[in-house]
A = this chain, B = another copy of it.
Amino acid sequence: KRIVLLPGDGIGKEVINSAKDVLNAVAEEFNHSFNFETHEIGGAAIDLYGTPLPESTVDACKQADAVLLGAVGGPKWDNNPSHLRPERGLLGIRKALDLYANLRPIKGFKNLLHASPLKEEVVAGSDLLIVRELTGGIYFGTPSERRDNGQTVVDTLAYTRKEIERIVDKAFQAAQGRRGHLTSVDKANVLESSKMWREVVEEKKAQYPDVVVEHVLVDAAAMKLITNPSKFDVIVTENMFGDILSDEASVLTGSLGMLASASLSEDGVGLYEPVHGSAPDIAGKGIANPSAMILSTALMLRYSFQLNDEATLIEDAVQSVLDSGFHTADLHIPEGRRVGTEEMTRLIVDYIK
């Protein structure tokens, strides 16, 4: 299997190595062969090639079986013009690979729940999957421009019915493989795009009789995620609502540093990345938590390679290391032991072997 590694910026460069170590261990144990190729994206690519997404990177990803991404961004490039910002690389690779489905599973780790900002009785039992449309909506729609001599500005939220259909299908299928409950989030009382979104969900319902569907307005969903997170199973929503709600949801269980995500295309390659960012403040210190990156490799094995046992083994390894009380600086486990990126990785690798 050909795997492209895109370390990106900040701690992305550190945690990507952990992913490689873990995959090498899995390869050894299960007799697989993974070939790695590293390419640049984001700020690193701007520095080297003058663009956040070199064509060589896109080409390599297109020919790969899967892509692992660290993180992009940092203060160094914050004042660059739009087309020279690290984020453009991320948006660009999503579009280039047609990664329309962003899946973010959010589940509490028992011995980390105490770090949740929510009361334990509120957050207990939460286990949800956010399915975010990733290549449409207002982050990609045109026109997106100044007008009238800079006196007005517009952005455009655009969707084709097809784009809505495929993400809604994906979400229904995910719900079938889980607890059979789907919450579709929109603003159908105001937006025309949300009305079409709701129509599509209603149309598709008949194809998935085993899934219970509810519609929730985005403002109400932002409330309910906090007051009743455990009531959700699968949430499906458009790009921008998904951006906001998935980040909101990511802090509920007190373990942002543990969250992985998958971005999938229709038949092609998938991209896997931690939910956390490039964390410039701790970059280079060897203290970043590699778990989210490592758990992203588990998602890769499961979704792109159908290697379920291997994926589960990685997840068990992470849980077991936590259970033994080992944790990185971003977490706290009462009476646990704090370790750095490399030692955390080594502990996980040891479990796998």
Residues of A within 8 A of B (CB): 82, 85, 87, 91, 116-119, 122, 138-139, 141, 144-146, 150-162, 187, 189-193, 195-196, 218-220, 222-223, 225-227, 240-241, 243-248, 250-252, 256
Contact = CB atoms under 8 A, between A and B. Distances in A.
A153 B195 CA distance: 9
Contacts of A82: 195
30 contacts: A87-B190, A117-B122, A118-B119, A118-B226, A138-B191, A139-B190, A139-B191, A141-B154, A144-B192, A146-B192, A150-B161, A150-B196, A151-B161, A152-B161, A153-B161, A153-B195, A154-B192, A154-B193, A155-B156, A155-B157, A155-B193, A157-B157, A218-B243, A219-B243, A219-B247, A220-B247, A222-B222, A223-B256, A226-B251, A227-B251
Contacts of A144: 191-192
A192 B153 contact: yes
Contacts of A193: 153-155
A222 B196 contact: no
Contacts of A192: 144-146, 153-155
Contacts of A122: 117
A151 B156 contact: no
A157 B159 contact: no
A196 B248 contact: no
A48 to B, nearest CB: 21
A153 B146 contact: no
A152 B156 contact: no
Contact of A119 (B117, B222, B248): B117
Contact of A158 (B152, B162, B251): B152
B195 A222 contact: no
A117 B118 CA distance: 6
A72 to B, nearest CB: 10
A306 to B, nearest CB: 31
Contacts of A225: 248
A67 B226 CA distance: 32
Per CB-CB distance, the 7 closest pairs between chain A and chain B, nearest first, are A219-B247, A222-B248, A155-B157, A153-B196, A117-B122, A87-B189, A223-B251
A64 to B, nearest CB: 26
Nearest to A244: B222
Contacts of A187: 240, 243
A141 B195 CA distance: 16
A138 B192 CA distance: 10
A232 to B, nearest CB: 14
Contact of A157 (B154, B222, B241, B247): B154
